[in-house]
Amino acid sequence: MIRRFKSLFWKLNWFFKHYRQLSNGSIFIPNKFLGPIKFVADSVATSNNADFLTEPKFKRAYELALATSPWKDVEMQWRTFIVCTLAEMVKKLPGDFVECGVNTGAYSRAIIEYINFPQTNKVFYLLDTYEGLVASQITEEEKMAGVGDYLKTYTNVYEEVKKTFAQFNTRIIKGAVPGTLTQCAAEKICYLSIDMNVVEPEIAAANFFWDKLVPGAVMILDDYGFPAHIAQKKAFDAFAAEKKVSILYIPTGQGIIFKP
Ligand SMILES: C[S@@+](CC[C@H](N)C(=O)[O-])C[C@H]1O[C@@H](n2cnc3c(N)ncnc32)[C@H](O)[C@@H]1O
């Protein structure tokens, strides 16, 4: 009886402390192993350890990401932490870094800081239209899922991006993928981020770069788990099956492939 009372007390106490963090009708069922919520943003709510949020190295990298003025009204620390950590893991492999879908360069700027990119002597290739999605690449299925809404959200950021990366060993390749892929001179690649919101250029980039990825290289699919991007998930599941690899799916929505 006392134990039940204690348990009920603990749950109510937990609820009143954290109820503001419960959003959109989602319900947490607390148990005695859960502590206070450590992170709630960008589709992730967790009471798991999130000490990276206050680590100076990551804080600085994330500040620089935010300084590029990327995402409106969203905090994306966990996703940014994942790309930074993966970049750190592969930076000693041979090969360059490639990002397809850069926008203002938030991830890439964070990575450059986090892994001390200049010391790697690598090139960071940054491919984007720098003015948003290509309407003709969006299928009816993607439009139905809401991908067409992105057409209104991106502005021309090319001049800002050139300034952001001027001091680093980057190659800024402007134009629509897949047309621009051959401008990427990297023969070997250890880090590939694919974040263009649309199946056609993403699968084209994955196929184009696959043989250039060195063993152990990482390919990150930023939109893999998002409901509006279900077409990307289906396309990459088929891609992974064809290449006989698995996609590591994590709660941030990111899908991660390591090149065998
Ligand atoms: C979600 S944003 C990328 C965000 C970025 N990874 C960051 O760090 O903030 C998607 C980007 O993909 C770009 N994009 C979409 N379709 C493209 C295509 N066919 N070719 C090149 N870039 C494209 C858009 O211009 C947009 O900047």
| DSSP notation for 75-97 | --HHHHHHHHHHHHHHTTSSSEE
pLDDT in tens, 227-257: 999 999 999 999 999 999 999 999 999 999 9
Cβ atoms of 105 and 113 closer than 8 Å:
no
**Atom 22, ligand 1: residue with shortest CA distance:** 128
If we measure between CA atoms, which residue out of 44, 40, 36, 4 comes closest to residue 17? 36
Which residues of the chain fall short of a pLDDT of 70? 3, 7, 11, 14-15, 17-33
pLDDT given for residue 30 in this prediction: 56
pLDDT given for residue 211 in this prediction: 98
Asked whether 253 lines ligand 1 (CB < 6 A), one says no
pLDDT given for residue 214 in this prediction: 98
Asked whether 255 lines ligand 1 (CB < 6 A), one says no
pLDDT given for residue 23 in this prediction: 52
How many whole angstroms separate alpha carbon 166 and alpha carbon 197? 26
How many whole angstroms separate alpha carbon 120 and alpha carbon 10? 50
pLDDT given for residue 3 in this prediction: 66
pLDDT given for residue 205 in this prediction: 98
pLDDT given for residue 18 in this prediction: 65
pLDDT given for residue 177 in this prediction: 98
Alpha-carbon distances of 9 from 12, 30, 38, rounded to whole Å: 5, 12, 21
Atom of ligand 1 nearest to the CA of 76: 9
How many whole angstroms separate alpha carbon 118 and alpha carbon 172? 16
Domains and CATH numbers, the chain: 2-37 (no CATH), 52-258 (3.40.50.150)
What are φ and ψ of residue 17, in 5° steps?
-70, -35
How many whole angstroms separate alpha carbon 74 and alpha carbon 166? 27
152 secondary structure, DSSP code: G
**Atom 24, ligand 1: residue with shortest CA distance:** 132
Ligand 1 pocket test, candidate residues 128, 153, 160, 172, most atoms within 8 A of CB: 128
